[in-house]
A and B are shown apart, each in its own frame.
Chain A
Amino acid sequence: MQRISTPKIGSAICIAVLLLLSSSAFGQKVERESRIKSPEVPEKALEYIEQTSLDKVKWYRETGLESISFEAKFKHERRWYSVEFSEEGVLEDIEIEIDLHQVPEPTRESIDKYLEAEFKRHRIKKVQIQYKQTSLQALIKEEVSKTDSPHAFELVVKGKKSRLMKLWEVAFSSTGKYISIDQILNRNSTHLEY
């Protein structure tokens, strides 16, 4: 059967719209996390991590709209650690992923109480213990008990408040007192759906 050999209207529309969109899409402000190599890390932050003699540390630069921070991520004794530094390399906080059952019982009860009151349905997806005043070396060498030094908890919760299930980041004090809640926005994933 003879096929039509000239580009049809569909192709023309596709190409025209591609060209039109390309001019509007570039040059916008972005917020991103990039993997970087150690030489790009502030010296102070690098020294802080190197004194722990950890290997396989991955470094990231987090570029926000108004600030830049650096983050070291690694796994130690089957736990994920995330250590955040300011642009100058000053330690901001240390977060360690833990299991829910490692949260002391009274704190857990207090957290559960809040989550049950806040959501119609919920499921805890991730628990992190956060330190601002304890050194990484002390935590890694277990010189201090993980729940003895000043800390807070940060949970990622899949929860339903209204019609839809959403993802939330909820912070609690070491005793389980509610501090803050933020919705984690879904990333645009239409390229994986259609």
Chain B
Amino acid sequence: MNTRLSTLVLLGLLCFSGLRAQNTFQTGALPGINFNKDLGEIYSLNFKIESREQFWGGEVGSDAPFNHQHLLTDFTLIGSRQVGLSEKVNFGYMFRLEEGETIHRTIQQFSFISRLRTFSLGHRLVTDQTFEPEESTAFRLRYRVSAELPLDGDKADPGEFYVKLNNELLQGWQDGSKPLLEYRFGPFLGYSLDQTHKLEVGLDYRNRSILTDPTRHSYWLSINWFFKL
């Protein structure tokens, strides 16, 4: 299937799921900080703190009033080993505080970057396992492709803006629940402050289930700071 046809099918699925009854939505902000530290030439560490703040939520079409709720905070630590020019194998652990409960997640990830003449593509393939109290383990397989499009010149140099487009599909499995195919899309405006700092602001759209009803549409204002120590 070519890219144009795939996009149309995906858009069709998104529109279809949006029209059904009892779909819900949530809107808010996802502020996050991403620290990176090289440990020699081959190994590196990534530590991320991300918080999820909901401002509006309810059924699609309903007139939901503003109601700020702090939903959760994630703390993620990922260890990476460079295995090629840009290829990395990563293993990580996420600790989530949500509604007074503690959730644990183990993460395995493979990533690589394709540098093209005027833009870059970052590929990320992840498997993860989530452990929640009184719930069976949830397994996910996710693939994300991120395009970085410089707005000045052929690459995003320090002091320049860029656009980043995230596209991600996540397949989830959990005992007692239907497998869910989630779709995420995120257009971001980024600014490269220097070789070590990047700031990104954009929309993080998530459709929790693009194939089965009901679904939940999430629209987050995502603000990320990438900082290389």
Contact = CB atoms under 8 A, between A and B. Distances in A.
Interface residues of A, number: 41
Interface stretch (A103-111, A128-136, A162-170, A173-181): A162-170
Contacts of B41: 163-164
Contact of B53 (A7, A34, A35, A158): A7
Majority-rule SS of B interface residues: strand
Interface in A110-131: none
Nearest to B223: A18
B49 A5 contact: no
Contacts of A193: 46, 88, 111, 113, 122, 124
Interface range on chain B (Cβ under 8 Å from partner)? 35 or more
B171 interface: no
A191 B194 contact: no
Contact of A18 (B33, B50, B84, B85): B33
Contacts, number: 148
A163 B43 CA distance: 12
A18 B72 CA distance: 19
A74 to B, nearest CB: 13
Given A8-B73, A193-B122, A164 B190 contact: no
A10 B200 CA distance: 19
Contacts of B228: 188, 190
Given A34-B152, A60-B153, A189 B122 contact: yes
Nearest to A30: B158
B193 A26 contact: yes
15 contacts: A4-B69, A6-B70, A7-B53, A14-B50, A25-B197, A30-B157, A32-B157, A34-B160, A165-B85, A188-B195, A188-B196, A188-B226, A189-B86, A191-B148, A194-B226
